[in-house]
Amino acid sequence: MYDLVIKNVRIDQLKIKDIAMKDGCICKIGSISEPANKVVDGEKRWLLPPYVESHVHLDTALISGKPFVNQSGELFEGINIWNKYKENFLTHEDVMERAKTVIKMMAGQGVLFMRCMVDISDPQLTALKALLEVKRSVAHFMTVQLVGFPQNGLLSSKDGFLQLEQAIDLGVDGISAVPHLEATREKGVTSLEQCFQLAVKHKKFLHIFCDEIDDSQSRFLEVVASLAIETGLHEQVTASHVNAMSYYDEAYVRKLLDLLKASRINIVTAPLINSAMQGRVDASPKGRGITRVKELHEAGINVAVAHDDILSPFYPLGTGSMLAAGHMLLHLAHMTGEKDFKTVLQMMTSNAAKVLGIKRYEINEGNQANFILVSAANAQDLLRRQPVAELVVANGQILAETPKQETKWNGFLEMPRHL
Ligand SMILES: [Zn+2]
C-alpha cells in the first residue's frame, strides 16, 4: 500500500505517467494501479523537482520600512539601517517569526531547499541562534543551510574571526567572507586565506560574498578560485554576486574563465537585488548589475540564480518567487534564445541543487519525494507567465496547494443591446 499516488503527471514533458510514494520516497514512476492511502489526479500538469534557493537572507527579511526606510536605495545606507536595527530591535522571537514567515512563503511557491546567509557581526549572535532553532523546526519539509557571514568584514571589524569561530561552534553549515568590504586589497586576500583555513579545519563549505561592487579593480574571484584549487575544496566553494566581473577587460576575463573552470567552484547570481543596487554610480549607459552569466555558463562553470533579499534594508521588494528571479535574469543576461529558458530553469533547480550539494535531487525511483506540479507547457512558458506551484510535495507528503489563477468573466464581453 502506497502512502500517496499522483496520477496523470508530465515528468519528461510529453509522456503522462503516475508517481507513487511511500515513507517519503518515490517508489514507482509509470502506470500505477496498486492501492494507496491517498490518490490525487495530477490533471496532466508538469511535475518538476522543487526550486532551490542558493542565497537568501532570513535575518534581514521583512524589515523594510520597519521602521527605517532606505531612502537612497544604496548598499551603505542599507548597512547602516541594518546595524541600527540590530542594536534596537533584533530579538530571538523577532528573527524566528520573520524567518518562519519567509520559509512558509517560499515553500508555498515550491522552494524546498535554501541556503541562508546569517550575519554574525552581532556579538550575541542573536540571529544565528534563532535560525538554528528555525532550521530544526522546519527540517521535515525544508532543508535550510546556514552560512555565517560577517557583514562588516572579517579583518576590518572588531572580533570578526572570533565571531566566525563562535558561529562554527554553534553549528553553522558553511562560512563566508566579504573581501571587497575589507579596508584594503591585502586585508581582503588575508580574510579569504584565513576563511579557507577555517573551512578546511572545521570541514565547512564556503559561500563567499565576492566582488559585489562596480569596481573593475575588485579581483577577489581569482583568489577564491585559486584557494579552491590549493585546498582541494573545489565544488564546496561558491562565490556570490561577482558583478565586478562585468567591468573587467576581455583579456583578463579569458584568463579568469580558465581558472574558474579548473577550480570547479560555483557562481551564484542575484539579479533582483543586484539590478537595483549596482550600476548606481556609473555614468550612462549604466551597468546591468549582474555578472557575466552567459559566458560563465558557456565556459562550463556551474551557475545558479538566487532570489536573495526580501523586503530588507537593501531591497524594498521581493516575494520569494524563484521564477521572478529567473525572469529578471533572462533579461539582464540576454538569455532569451530558445535554449536559454531551459538553462535558466536549471539555474534555479539542478544547478542550484549542485551548489547546495543536495544528493538524489532528481525525480527518480528511490529518491526522496520532493517535487512540485505547475501548469506550464515548457520552460519558456513557465518563465514567461510565472504560474504558481499548484501542488508542493515534500518528503512524500502534500505540503501546500495553491489554486491556479483564473479570470472569471461576467458576460460584458458581448456588446450589450442598449449601447
Ligand atoms: Zn545576499
For residue 270, the CA-to-ligand 1 centroid distance in Å is: 8
Of the candidates 109, 112, 123, the one whose C-alpha atom is nearest the C-alpha of residue 160 is 123
Q: How far is the CA of 231 from the centre of ligand 1 (A)?
A: 25
Q: How far apart are CA 361 and CA 354, in angstroms?
A: 9
Percent of the chain with pLDDT over 90: 92
Q: Which spans in 333-398 are helix H?
A: 340-347, 350-356, 379-385
- Does position 240 have pLDDT exceeding 90, yes or no? yes
Question: How much of the chain exceeds pLDDT 70, in percent?
Answer: 100
User: The dihedral of CA 212, 177, 360, 47: what is its sign?
Assistant: negative
For residue 49, the CA-to-ligand 1 centroid distance in Å is 24
Predicted confidence at residue 349, as pLDDT, reads 98
C-alpha cell of residue 257: 574563465
Instruction: Give me the active site residues, please.
Output: 212
- Give dist(CA 361, CA 367) in Å, integer: 7
Residues contacting residue 344 through CB under 8 Å, at least 6 positions apart: 305, 326, 329, 330, 335, 379, 383
Asked if the model's pLDDT at residue 394 lies above 90, the reply is: yes
Residue 343 alpha carbon to ligand 1 centre in Å: 22
**What is the rounded distance in angstroms from the CA atom of residue 346 to the CA atom of residue 358?**
14
Query: Mean pLDDT across the stretch 325-334?
Result: 98
Pairwise CA distance, residues 396 & 377, whole Å: 24
Query: Residue 262, SS3?
Result: helix
Distance CA 191, CA 73 (A): 28
d(CA 29, CA 12) in angstroms, rounded, equals: 11
State in Å: Cα 7 to ligand 1 middle: 39
CA of 339 to the centre of ligand 1 (A): 28
> How sure is the predictor about 13, in pLDDT bands with cuts at 50, 70 and 90?
low
The CA distance from 277 to 290, in Å, is 10
Taking the centre of ligand 1 as the mean of its atom positions, its distance from the CA of residue 195, in whole angstroms, is 18
Cα separation, 32 vs 24, in Å, equals 17
Ligand 1 centroid distance, CA of 64 (Å): 15
Residue 152: what pLDDT? 87
Instruction: Note the pLDDT of residue 255.
Output: 97
CA dihedral for 392, 393, 394, 397, sign (positive or negative): positive
Q: Is the predicted pLDDT of residue 413 greater than 90, yes or no?
A: no
Every domain of the chain with CATH number 2.30.40.10 lies at 2-48+363-401
Mean pLDDT value across residues 374-380: 96
Strand partners of residue 45:
9
Per residue in 51-91, pLDDT (tens digit) is 999 999 999 999 999 999 999 999 889 989 999 999 999 99
Full strand arrangement of the beta sheet holding 36-48: 25-30, 16-22, 2-10, 36-48, 371-374, 389-394, 397-401
Q: Hey, which CATH number is domain 51-356, 3.20.20.140, 3.20.20.70, 3.90.1640.10, 1.10.287.3510?
A: 3.20.20.140
Rounded distance from Cα 14 to ligand 1 centre (Å): 37
Cell of 385: 507567465
Say if CB 313 and CB 277 are below 8 A apart: no
For ion ligand 1, residues whose CB falls within 5 Å: 308
User: What are the pLDDT digits (tens) for 359-375?
Assistant: 999 999 999 999 999 99
The residues of the chain that CATH labels 3.20.20.140 are: 51-356
Task: Give 292-321 pLDDT, tens digit per residue.
Answer: 999 999 999 999 999 999 999 999 999 999
Nearest to 125 by CA among 90, 94, 153: 90
Q: How far is the CA of 18 from the centre of ligand 1 (A)?
A: 39
CATH of the domain spanning 2-48+363-401: 2.30.40.10
Cα distance between residue 241 and residue 305, in whole Å: 10
Distance in angstroms (rounded) separating the CA atoms of residues 390 and 397: 14
**Cα-to-centroid distance, 391 and ligand 1 (Å):** 28
What is the rounded average pLDDT of the residues 248-273?
A: 98
Residue 284 has φ and ψ, to the nearest 5°, of: -70, 145
Q: How far is the CA of 191 from the centre of ligand 1 (A)?
A: 18
CA of 224 to the centre of ligand 1 (A): 18
At residue 418 the predicted structure's pLDDT band, cuts being 50, 70 and 90, is confident
β-strand 389-394 against 51-57: which pairing, if any? unpaired
What integer best gives the mean pLDDT of the chain?
A: 96
Mean pLDDT of 192-213: 97
Tell me the three state secondary structure of residue 12.
Answer: coil
Q: Grid coordinates standing for 149?
A: 557571514
262-297 pLDDT tens trace: 999 999 999 999 999 999 989 999 999 999 999 999
Antiparallel, parallel or unpaired: β 397-401 and 389-394? antiparallel
